[in-house]
């Protein structure tokens, strides 16, 4: 148990020799160190999973996860160990704001891959839907590309058929008129009116000849248009079949899918926020523990230790300056004054 506590002390970034002189502070810094350690562990898992979704290689994912976790661990350790308790909570809070913002950003980075793992089944379902939707959209783009040409060919065929139909109606009308003239039910109302019937029958024959010529021409054009339509249908089919259904399984696609399901499901949206807030709380916990905890014996000893180093530094500088002044007494007045001014400015 003692080794575990010592390990967590190391994780907290505390000065072990000073902390051993403060038994009342040992549990607090062991707790801070444990929080930093487990935050780094979560970061390693999240980073490894994020890389695995890209390369699907366990060795690469494990290596990246360890490096990422160590980086987050070291950053958290630095954030907490660099904070100093001086009794002014307001000033300490303002000083800690950048560190809190950084802690929030780190927690968001850690939480996102784990969120994607937690909602993996829902994300896979959404990815399948997104994949089908993308395939449908690409298919529609192919069809729209040939739509105008298809409409033009179909309209041309309708026009050619309408011309034949109108000419047929005209021929049938003339045939009817000639027949009525022949049987006396129309026209001159005289049965067997030969010359008049011949004239009307000739008109009908002329229109019929025109109809036959038009049918030959129009049906040839219609057949050619249908052939072109079939070619276009074949092109569309081939292009649609050539569209590959991309395997949407990368981090960006999964984040997009998670965004879709959270916007469509209030329950998942709430769960997603709770997970994110949980990681923010875990990541920022060491910082807030240092902020809200009272100034303890360890902080006093640390201040004394740092103060002694600082005073020793000033003393060393003062001794060096005095030695330099002593050695510069034999210098000309101008050079001695220059050295004195430089030494005075270094002490400010």
pLDDT digits (tens, 9 = 90+) for 98-134: 777 877 887 777 777 778 778 888 888 888 888 888 7
pTM of the model: 0.55
pLDDT of 72 > 70? The answer is yes
Residue-wise pLDDT for 237-275, tens only, equals 888 777 665 566 667 778 888 888 888 888 888 888 888
**Ranges of H-type helices in 192-265:** 194-242, 251-264
> How high is the pLDDT of residue 66?
92
Listed in sequence order, the residues at least 6 apart from 22 whose beta carbon sits closer than 8 Å to its beta carbon are 296, 297, 298, 301
Phi-psi category of 141—alpha, beta or left, where left has phi over 0 and alpha has psi -120 to 50?
alpha
Q: What is the DSSP letter of 295?
A: P
Radius of gyration (Cα) for the chain, nearest Å?
46
As a dihedral over the C-alpha atoms of residue 158, residue 160, residue 165, residue 168, rounded to 10 degrees, the angle is -170
Backbone region of residue 58 per phi and psi (left: phi > 0; alpha: psi in -120 to 50; beta: other values):
alpha
Mean pLDDT lowest for which of 85-94, 146-155, 170-179?
A: 85-94
In this predicted structure, the answer to whether residue 157 has a pLDDT above a threshold of 80 is yes
User: 149, 172 in Cβ contact below 8 A?
Assistant: no
Q: How far apart are CA 92 and CA 291, in angstroms?
A: 7
User: Could you tell me the sign of the dihedral formed by the alpha carbons of 320, 325, 328, 333, in that order?
Assistant: positive
The per-residue DSSP string of 135-184 comes to HHHHHHHHHHHHHHHHHHHHHHHHHHHHHHHHHHHHHHHHHHHHHHHHHT
pLDDT, tens only, 57-70: 888 888 988 998 89
- DSSP state, 206? H
Q: Specify which of 29-43, 129-143, 150-164, 287-301 reaches the highest per-range mean pLDDT.
A: 150-164
Give residue 209's pLDDT: 86
* Helices then strands, each counted (H, E), the chain: 11, 0
d(CA 250, CA 254): 6
Residues 6+ apart with CB under 8 A from 78: 13
Banded model confidence at residue 159, pLDDT cuts 50, 70, 90 = very high
Residue 122 near residue 261 (C-beta atoms within 8 A): yes
DSSP 330: T
Is residue 258 within 8 A of residue 116, CB to CB? The reply is yes
pLDDT per residue over 187-244, tens digit each?
A: 555 555 566 667 667 777 788 888 888 889 988 898 998 899 898 888 888 887 776 6
Handedness of CA 85, 90, 94, 97 (dihedral sign): positive
3-state helix, strand, coil in the chain (%, to 5): 85, 0, 15
Contact 38, 69 (CB under 8 A): no
Backbone dihedral angles phi then psi of residue 189, each to the nearest 5 degrees: 60, 20
Greater pLDDT, 325 or 59: 59
85 contacts 273 by C-beta, under 8 angstroms: no
Q: What share of the chain has pLDDT > 70, as a percent?
A: 89
Structure tokens at 262: 């959270």
User: Longest Cα pair distance anywhere in the chain, in angstroms?
Assistant: 157
What residues contact residue 135 under an 8 Å CB cut-off, 6+ apart? Answer: 243, 245
């Amino acid at each position: 148990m003692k080794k575990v506590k010592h390990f967590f002390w190391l994780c907290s970034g505390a000065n072990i020799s000073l902390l051993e002189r403060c038994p009342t502070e040992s549990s607090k810094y062991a707790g801070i160190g444990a929080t930093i350690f487990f935050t780094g562990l979560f970061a390693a898992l999240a980073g490894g999973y994020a890389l695995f979704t890209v390369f699907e290689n366990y060795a690469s994912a494990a290596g990246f996860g360890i490096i990422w976790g160590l980086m987050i661990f070291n950053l958290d350790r630095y954030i907490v160990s660099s904070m100093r308790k001086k009794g002014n909570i307001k000033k300490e809070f303002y000083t800690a704001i950048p560190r809190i913002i950084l802690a929030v950003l780190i927690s968001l980075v850690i939480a996102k891959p784990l969120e994607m793992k937690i909602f993996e089944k829902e994300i896979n379902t959404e990815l399948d839907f997104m994949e089908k939707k993308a395939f449908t959209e690409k298919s529609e783009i192919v069809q729209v590309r040939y739509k105008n040409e298809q409409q033009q060919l179909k309209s041309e065929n309708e026009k050619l058929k309408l011309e034949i139909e109108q000419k047929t109606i005209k021929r049938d009308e003339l045939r009817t008129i000639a027949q009525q003239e022949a049987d006396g039910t129309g026209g001159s109302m005289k049965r067997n009116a030969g010359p008049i019937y011949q004239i009307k029958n000739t008109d009908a024959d002329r229109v019929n000849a025109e109809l036959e010529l038009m049918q030959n021409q129009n049906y040839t054009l219609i057949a050619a248009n249908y052939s072109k339509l079939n070619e276009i249908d074949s092109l569309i089919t081939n292009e649609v079949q050539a569209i590959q259904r991309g395997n949407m399984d990368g981090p960006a696609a999964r984040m997009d899918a998670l965004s879709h399901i959270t916007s469509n499901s209030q329950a998942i949206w709430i769960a997603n926020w709770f997970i994110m807030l949980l990681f923010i709380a875990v990541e920022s916990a060491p910082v807030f523990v240092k902020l809200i905890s009272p100034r303890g014996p360890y902080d006093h000893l640390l201040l004394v230790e740092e103060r002694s180093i600082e005073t020793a530094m000033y003393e060393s500088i003062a001794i060096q300056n005095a030695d330099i002044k002593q050695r510069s007494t034999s210098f000309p007045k101008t050079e001695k004054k220059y050295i004195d001014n430089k030494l005075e400015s270094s002490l400010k």
